[in-house]
């Protein structure tokens, strides 16, 4: 594999682990991996079903569960469309928040700017769908990074729809 | 007519004011191109108004909604309209997030099990 470059991203040192190949970026706190599932275009329905079941299990309200399923699906669909046609979802819970991480190992197909790296949002325009835009609307946090080894998108759903790191007065 | 397109099922019936396309199952990336073809086929022959009954559809992603929006655009350009009827909650949410209610007519949103009203919106004589 050539995609093993783990240099910290100067723009986001705290995200230096984000491009690590195999591990979920579960942070330091206590986290329990709930789901680790590979997908391709033909198995997105199974991915949605699994995410829905685990989100309910984690105690997300129904409407937030809908939103989480929408968000994970759109990230996975982007991985299928712009990655190597497949990807991997990992989902875990920490402090009541649901974290999902979608990885694809593909370099962009057919002559796209595979080498540009950086924030992949810049080369994920809202076409042909509005996938990433939808994710931004419903997720409490989102980060998307790409490197030579592929793309990693991570989202967080907080229990009350709020980011505790922002809500604490400063 | 009955089509099987992965997890998406579709059938077409003749309504009072145009064809009614009934979708059920789940519509996503894997079925988006087939959905486009279905819609395009229904738009043939100068159809002015196409009703898409979503009551059996559990999930629709942005790629599928995009196909619906494009069909709606075609109809608008010829003075017609695409009407989306009876979306379930998760589908109604995607329509709302994508601002589709600004582009298409959405009837009978997110009703769960209100049979008579739903039947009226979807298959009855309609509001003309």
Tokens read off for B20: 């009614």
Q: What is the pLDDT of residue B121?
A: 42
Quick check: is A149 in a domain?
Answer: yes
Inform me whether the pLDDT recorded for A43 exceeds 60. yes
Q: Which domain holds residue A41?
A: 33-167
Residue A71, phi-psi category: left (phi > 0), alpha (psi -120 to 50), beta (remainder): alpha
| B120 φ, ψ (degrees, to nearest 5) | -65, -45
Q: Please report how many Cα atoms fall inside a 13 Å half-sphere around the Cα of residue B103, on the Cβ side.
A: 18
DSSP state for residue A108 in the 8-state scheme: P
- As for how many domains chain A has, the answer is 1
Domains within chain B, CATH numbers bracketed: 2-122 (3.30.750.24)
Selecting from A42, A63, A74 the residue whose C-beta is nearest the C-beta of B62 gives A74
Say yes or no: B96 contacts chain A, CB-CB below 8 A: no
Closest CA to A124 of A80, A164, A163: A80
Please write the tens of the pLDDT for every residue from A69-125.
999 999 999 999 887 889 999 999 988 899 999 999 866 543 333 333 444 333 333
Count Cβ atoms below 10 Å from residue B106 Cβ, excluding itself. 22
Task: For residue A117, give every residue at least 6 positions away whose Cβ sits within 8 Å of its Cβ, in sequence order, or none.
Answer: A146, A147, A148
CA A59 to chain centre: 20
Residue B60 has a pLDDT of 97
Mean pLDDT value across chain A: 74
pLDDT reading at A31 higher than 90: no
Is residue A111 assigned to a domain? yes
Spell out, as residue ranges, where chain B has pLDDT lower than 70: 1-6, 109-128
CB B109 within 8 A of CB B88: no
Task: Decide if A37 is inside a domain.
Answer: yes
CATH assignment of the domain containing A127: 3.30.565.10
User: What is the model's pLDDT at position A27?
Assistant: 72
In this predicted structure, the answer to whether residue A44 has a pLDDT above a threshold of 60 is yes
Residue B29 with chain A: CB contacts under 8 Å: 41, 44, 77, 80-81
Q: What is the pLDDT of residues A13-29, one digit of tens each?
A: 333 333 444 467 777 66
> For residue A65, is pLDDT > 70?
yes
What is the rounded distance in angstroms from the CA atom of residue B88 to the CA atom of residue B106?
12
Residue B102 or residue A54, greater confidence: A54
pTM: 0.77
pLDDT at A32 over 90: no
Whole-number pLDDT of residue A165:
59
Gyration radius of chain A's alpha carbons? 15
Q: Which residues of B touch A42 (CB under 8 A)?
A: 6, 30
- The string of DSSP codes covering B43-103 is HGGG--EEEEEEEEEEEE-HHHHHHHHHHHHHHHHTT-EEEEE---HHHHHHHHHTTGGGT
Residue A96 lies in a domain: yes
pLDDT at B109: 61
Half-sphere exposure of A109 (CA within 13 A, CB side): 10
Q: Is residue A28 part of a domain?
A: no
pLDDT of A168 higher than 60: no
Q: What is the pLDDT of residues A120-150, one digit of tens each?
A: 333 333 345 468 889 999 999 999 988 888 8
Q: How many helices (H) and strands (E) does chain B have?
A: 4, 6
B8 contacts in A (CB within 8 Å)?
none
pLDDT at residue A52 greater than cutoff 80: yes
């Amino acid at each position: 594999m050539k995609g093993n470059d783990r240099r910290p991203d100067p723009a986001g040192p705290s995200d230096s682990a984000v491009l690590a190949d195999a591990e979920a970026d579960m942070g330091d706190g206590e986290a329990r991996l709930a789901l680790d599932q590979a997908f391709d275009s033909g198995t997105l329905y199974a991915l949605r079903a699994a995410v829905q079941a685990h989100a309910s299990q984690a105690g997300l309200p129904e409407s937030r569960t809908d939103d989480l399923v929408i968000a994970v699906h759109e990230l996975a669909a982007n991985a299928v469309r712009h990655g190597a046609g497949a990807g991997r979802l990992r989902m875990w819970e920490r402090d009541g928040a649901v974290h999902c991480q979608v990885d694809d190992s593909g370099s962009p197909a057919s002559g796209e700017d595979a080498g540009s790296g950086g924030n992949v949002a810049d080369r994920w325009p809202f076409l042909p769908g509005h996938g990433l835009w939808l994710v931004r609307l419903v997720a409490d946090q989102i980060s998307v990074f790409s490197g030579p080894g592929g793309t990693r998108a991570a989202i967080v759903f907080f229990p009350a729809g709020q980011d505790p790191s922002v809500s604490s007065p400063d | 007519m009955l089509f099987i397109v992965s997890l998406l099922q579709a059938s077409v019936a003749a309504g009072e004011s145009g064809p009614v396309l009934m979708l059920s199952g789940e519509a996503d990336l894997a079925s988006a191109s087939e959905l486009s073809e279905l819609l395009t086929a229904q738009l043939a022959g100068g159809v002015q108004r196409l009703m898409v009954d979503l009551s059996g559809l559990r999930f629709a992603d942005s790629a599928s909604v995009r196909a619906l929006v494009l069909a709606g655009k075609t109809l608008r350009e010829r003075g017609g309209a695409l009407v989306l009827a009876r979306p379930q909650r998760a589908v109604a949410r995607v329509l709302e997030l994508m601002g589709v209610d600004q582009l298409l007519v959405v009837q009978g949103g997110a009703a769960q099990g209100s049979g008579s009203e739903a039947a009226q919106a979807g298959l009855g004589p309609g509001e003309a």
